[in-house]
Chain A
Amino acid sequence: MPRIIRDATIVEDDWQVADLGEGQSALDITLPEGLVLFPLNVWLQRREEIIARNQPIGVWLRSDEAPEALVGDISRFSVIGIHFPRFTDGRGCSTARLLRERHRFVGEIRAIGDVLQDQLFAMRRCGINAFALRADRSLEQALPALKTFSDSYQAAADEPRPLFRRRLAGEPG
């Protein structure tokens, strides 16, 4: 079974990421069985059917797809995937923060695509708690990257108070 990092632990995981092939349309594909992360357009167009499967629901967003599209259904999702087409495309970090901080999504947010160890720390701060690393990379080697820094200046999904507030309260030092 494939493995991912979830909540700072390496775990086996059998969610599969579905995508439309060349020439396929969201309306006429056969919905796969099991735990599936559906592309946004499949979710939007086959919503009733997916809900009727009565299984945990997953969806994933491309880097140019807005999290606002999920807002009315946010509590239905067990997993929301955020796709990073290249690790240098930072849009997914805004998507993750919006899901966590504005839309109060409490399920799993999973980074998929070009996910590499050097971005894990920032992704975690933005609210991403699961990482499907690029297939050629070692999860064991990547895991410590979640602890690259012992503190941070800004507020983000992991820490609502910027360092200056904690400093004024006399906390770190």
Chain B
Amino acid sequence: MYRYDPTDQRMIDERVAQYRDQISRHLAGELSADELRPLRLQNGLYIQRHGPMLRIAIPYGLLSSKQLRKLAEISQRYDRGVGHFTTRQNLQLNWPQLEQTPEILGELASVQMHAVQTSGNCVRNITTDALAGVAPDELADPRPYCEILRQWSTFHPEFAFLPRKFKIAVNAAASDRAVIRVHDIGLDLVRDEHGETGFRVFVGGGLGRTPMLGKVVNEFLPRRHLLSYVEAILRLYNRYGRRDNLYKARIKILVQALGIDEFRRQVDDEWSHFRDGPTTVPDEEFERLAGHFAPPAWEVLPADDPWPTAQAKSNRAFANWLGRCVQRHRMPGYAAVTLSLKAPGKPPGDITDVQMIAVADLADCFSLGELRVTHEQNLVLADVRQRDLYEVWQIARQNGLATPNIGLLTDMICCPGGDLCALANARSVPIAAAVHETFDNLDYLHDIGDISLNISGCMNSCGHHHVANIGILGVDKNGEEWYQITIGGQQGNAATIGKVIGPSFCAGEIPGIIEALIAVYLDQRTPEERFIDTFQRIGIEPFKTRAYARRDRQRSAPAPVDEREVVNA
């Protein structure tokens, strides 16, 4: 992974000093709450329903075991021993004290970590494929590109106060696992006919109130131009993005207003002034950064180790886990293991300090001391020898990290929701718990097969409900929690925004509605179809009919005051 040089370290230490001074001026009454707010947000500190929340950056989701141990220690000492992984591969602590946050940032800096730009109207953490460097379908390792973007965006003096937040994701594999088309900029690594590496650049994707998929602004951007081209896009956005309406301030609205062709023309015009200037990245720099992510000392192993398969024949629980939680690796004899943070009875994405230490130990013993955070809020041990899988499974199981549900209905993406978040209209964690209770039969879950169910507590869509096969969105109606259902969304190369099925439901109705939607699928599927395939073949109507047929026998919703606004969003 990337290791700081003395300059990186000095700047991060200086950032901590700057933040410490800001907090002390605030506590001394010299910096008002309103003046502190944008400053603390750019250091990851929110003030939420019950107090502060600190969002710690995990650049492109990559962590060392040493860093995870530090996070465990911080969560023990300054919090309540629980962290929450987010869809942007970061970690949130929900109970820090404002006065102690400078100290926490100092602790993070001691292991080359920070909370820089994890919130605020600036360029946020760059995200990518959790299987970077080990995926068999990868064209190149995306992490050197993520790192150069991380450095470029860190403390960028021109783009600290954009109209709104700005998210960049990078994919470098045949299958997009980074949902790049729902980011402000999505970078898809490609090679041209001469073998030159570059990017297909998408712009203007995003979820939130007005979900949109990014559009191609550049079919092939040679990699040396990566930073200058992104800078041209950001300058256009900084100058002309809307600042009069929070809900129309993302770049997608600017792209939509100009049209992609005019937007492209303006970017090219801006870019032409400095495209071959000093921000052009020479090959030596890419090579230098690639050196930080050089393949580890993998052993030469037989292609497919027969041992785990043999174990699985006599151990159904292990077989289930192998089937759902183990992914292929580009090297023979290795596998990537997903540790599920979606155990029943636990908020999705949550991890305790004890589990953090267990994962750090697992990484040290079995996966070259590193791990990754997935945007689905699970963890990945990327370099496990197949012959170690049984042992890894046993240890993971003892620590509640081996629920064999990756890619199944209960592998839900879920935001913290109204229990913690001040923005939420409704709680999301109890909905996730209800889904777990309703679908508690593993055989049934496996029979339903691949499906995604995501939950967001409000229109900000942190839970990515728009790109789920079944999406659940919390809405507020006259102070009551209601939930709107979308279906047919998906992530990946064929990313699609889901469609709203109709008026929203109360919390108690949700498990029944999910059952009804699943029942339509089970009735209508052909043997090889996943939920999304059946949906695409038969359309929304049968699902809608079943969902509301059930409802007609139960209570009906009050006349929705803000339904139109929400549905049309």
Contacts and interface: CB of A to CB of B under 8 A. Distances in A.
A2 to B, nearest CB: 21
Interface in B1-44: 5-7, 10-11, 14-15, 18, 22, 35, 38-39
Contacts of A156: 157-158
Contacts of B235: 94
Interface stretch (A5-13, A34-42, A104-112, A117-125): A117-125
A154 B7 contact: no
Nearest to A172: B7
B78 interface: no
Contact of A164 (B38, B162, B285): B285
B292 to A, nearest CB: 13
A155 B228 CA distance: 10
Interface of A: 66, 87-91, 93-94, 97, 101-102, 116, 118-119, 121-123, 125-126, 148-156, 160-165, 167-168, 172-173
Contacts of A148: 14, 18
B439 to A, nearest CB: 45
A153 B155 contact: yes
B158 A118 contact: no
B156 A154 contact: yes
Nearest to A121: B157
Interface stretch (B272-280, B316-324, B379-387, B555-563): B272-280
B447 interface: no
A51 B226 CA distance: 44
B67 interface: no
Interface string B235-261: 100110001000000000000000000
B568 interface: no
Interface residues of B, number: 40
A122 B238 contact: no
B159 interface: yes
Contacts of A94: 158, 235, 238-239
B157 A126 contact: yes
Contact of B35 (A93, A116, A161): A116
B7 A173 contact: yes
Given A88-B121, A94-B238, A164-B285, A149 B11 contact: yes
27 contacts: A88-B38, A88-B121, A89-B161, A90-B158, A91-B239, A91-B243, A93-B161, A94-B239, A101-B274, A102-B273, A118-B18, A122-B160, A125-B157, A148-B18, A149-B14, A149-B15, A150-B10, A153-B154, A155-B279, A162-B227, A162-B279, A163-B151, A165-B282, A167-B5, A167-B285, A173-B6, A173-B7
A162 B278 contact: yes
A156 B273 CA distance: 14
A89 B243 contact: yes
Which of A91, A119, A126, A168 has the most C-beta atoms of chain B within 10 angstroms of its own C-beta? A91
Contacts of A164: 148, 151, 281, 285, 288
B152 A154 contact: yes
Contact of B157 (A91, A150, A152, A162): A152
A88 B162 CA distance: 8
Contact of A90 (B152, B161, B227): B161
Contact of B159 (A90, A121, A162): A90
B299 interface: no
Contacts of B38: 87-88
Nearest to B227: A162
A156 B278 CA distance: 10
A91 B244 CA distance: 13
B284 interface: yes
A153 B152 contact: yes
Nearest to A158: B157
Which of A66, A118, A167 has the most C-beta atoms of chain B within 10 angstroms of its own C-beta? A118
A151 B158 contact: no
B152 A162 contact: yes
A151 B160 CA distance: 17
B30 to A, nearest CB: 8
Nearest to B39: A118
Contacts of B154: 153
A65 B155 CA distance: 25
B24 to A, nearest CB: 12
Contacts of B273: 102
Which of B121, B152, B160, B284 has the most C-beta atoms of chain A within 10 angstroms of its own C-beta? B160
Contact of B161 (A87, A160, A165): A87
A161 to B, nearest CB: 5
A87 B37 CA distance: 12
B343 to A, nearest CB: 40
A154 B279 contact: yes
A97 B243 CA distance: 20
B10 A151 contact: yes
B278 A165 contact: yes
A150 B11 contact: yes
B269 to A, nearest CB: 12
A61 to B, nearest CB: 12
Contacts of A89: 161, 243
Nearest to A156: B157
Given A93-B160, A118-B35, A150-B10, 11 more contacts: A66-B239, A93-B157, A94-B235, A102-B273, A119-B160, A121-B157, A122-B160, A149-B14, A151-B10, A152-B157, A162-B279
Interface in B110-163: 121, 148, 151-152, 154-162
Contacts of A151: 7, 10-11
A28 B158 CA distance: 37
A163 B157 contact: no
A123 B18 CA distance: 16
B294 to A, nearest CB: 18
Nearest to B234: A94
Nearest to B151: A153
A129 to B, nearest CB: 14
B151 A161 contact: no
Contacts of B285: 164, 167-168
A149 B155 contact: yes
A94 B227 CA distance: 16
B161 A168 contact: no
A168 to B, nearest CB: 6
